[in-house]
Amino acid sequence: MKRIFLIFAIIFVLVGCNSAFKDSVTEAEAALENGDFENALKLFNVALEEKPDSPEVKDRIALLDDYATLQEKMENAEWTEAVDLANDILKNDAIVPSLQTEVEELLTTIKEEEEKEKQMASDLKKIEELIANDDVEKANSKISELESKTNALDRELDDLHNQLEVAEKRIAEKERKEKERKEKEAEKKRLEAEAKQQAIEANNLKEKYMQKADNLDDRIMSKAKELFEQDVQPGFYGQYHREWDDLLNEVWGELKKTMPTNAFEQLKSEQNDWIKNKEQTFAEMPDEPASARAAGVDYLAAETKSRTYYLIENYMNE
């Protein structure tokens, strides 16, 4: 009697296990068809615990494990491995329509992302070439374009920004040295011109000082042309006020030596009036803003230049 009871108990257990296995497989297949692949994998694993030797369940689990691995590859941007794995999944005989559709869509996404990555790599290379060639304006524009397209290249873009900063400093240093070279060359030419001028016997004071004034004016105009393409910045001419004033004083000293006393005293009175009017006009000019103050200094330089030419043209050699 006990033996019969034991046989029935074993049969009951086997039937129950078989029923649990079938239920798990049925639910797993339903989840698989509905695209609930994560839940399907859990249910197939439950079924495998009930029947560890089921080849069909093992195939399903292996297929879904590959699908999970495919998602990990995509998250890690391992595009080449992801393409190979996706193609392997699609060739698997155990695949169902829902998973096939999902993997095909993922495969399309993978290829698109892979192409984007290649394009970004190409763009990064172009930017590095632009920076290497000191074309920082175009490089900066390209970087801005990439930054507007993606946030996935923060490290690479930071590196490019650093390279760009180095290039800008390098260009600035080149420009500074070139400017110094030009200034030295201009100064050398000026000194040569002055030495040549001093070597010439200047019996004609008018010609001599007219040349000096013209040389100074030409140098200033040349500097203005070098620094400014169109409008000259306020205050530029004002920085040469001292040079015009020195030339004016030199001319005045020559006039004092060469003019008749009476004529010079009359001119001296006129000169004092001119100085008074100039200084009064300057004093009435506003100090603020800075541009107004700069315009006032420009006025002093212009008035002094005009007076210098006036004295040379009208009183020298008379």
**Are both 186 and 268 inside the same structural domain?**
no
Q: Do both 220 and 165 map to the same domain?
A: no
The pLDDT value recorded for residue 3 is 45
Q: Which of 85-94, 151-160, 253-262 has the lowest mean pLDDT?
A: 151-160
Q: Are residues 141 and 56 in the same domain?
A: no
CATH of the domain at 75: 1.25.40
The model's pLDDT over 268-308, given as tens digits with 9 standing for 90+, comes to 999 999 999 999 998 888 888 888 888 888 899 999 999 99
Closest by CA to 206, choosing from 54, 310, 50, 57, is 310
Residues 269 and 301 in one domain: yes
Matching residue, tokens 């290379």: 125
Percent of the chain whose predicted confidence (pLDDT) is above 90? 36
Domain assignment of residue 125, yes or no: no
Q: Judge if 184 and 212 occupy the same domain.
A: no
Q: Are residues 294 and 215 in the same domain?
A: yes
Q: Which long-range contacts (CB under 8 A, 24 or more apart) does 51-60 make?
A: 51/17, 51/18, 51/21, 54/21, 56/25, 56/94, 57/25, 59/92, 59/94, 60/28, 60/32, 60/94
Q: CA 242, CA 169: separation in Å to the nearest integer?
A: 34
Q: What is the mean pLDDT of residues 239-265?
A: 93
* Cβ neighbours for 111, distance < 8 A, ≥ 6 positions apart: 83
Q: Which domain holds residue 16?
A: 2-115
Peptide bond connecting 52 to the previous residue in cis, omega within 30 degrees of 0: no
Encode burial over 205-217: b for 16+ CB neighbours within 10 A, e otherwise.
bbebbbbbbeebe
Categorize the per-residue pLDDT at 132 as very low, low, confident or very high, splitting at 50, 70 and 90: confident
Two structure tokens written together for 312: 């040379």
Domain assignment present for 32: yes
pLDDT of residue 145: 77
Place of tokens 């049969």: 11
Taking a C-beta distance cutoff of 8 angstroms, is the pair 191, 219 a contact? no
> What per-residue confidence (pLDDT) applies to 201?
42
Q: What is the DSSP letter of 230?
A: S
**What confidence score (pLDDT) does residue 152 get?**
60
Asked whether residue 123 is domain-assigned, the answer is no
Report the distance separating Cα 76 and Cα 31, nearest Å.
27
- Of 181, 200, 219, the last residue of a domain is 200
Distance CA(9)–CA(188), nearest Å, equals 116
Do 7 and 93 share a domain, yes or no?
yes
Whether 250 is covered by a domain: the verdict is: yes
- Select the more confidently predicted residue: 104 or 287: 104
30-66 pLDDT, tens digit per residue, is 988 888 898 998 998 998 898 998 888 988 898 899 9
Confidence (pTM):
0.39
Statement to judge: residues 96 and 159 lie in one domain? no
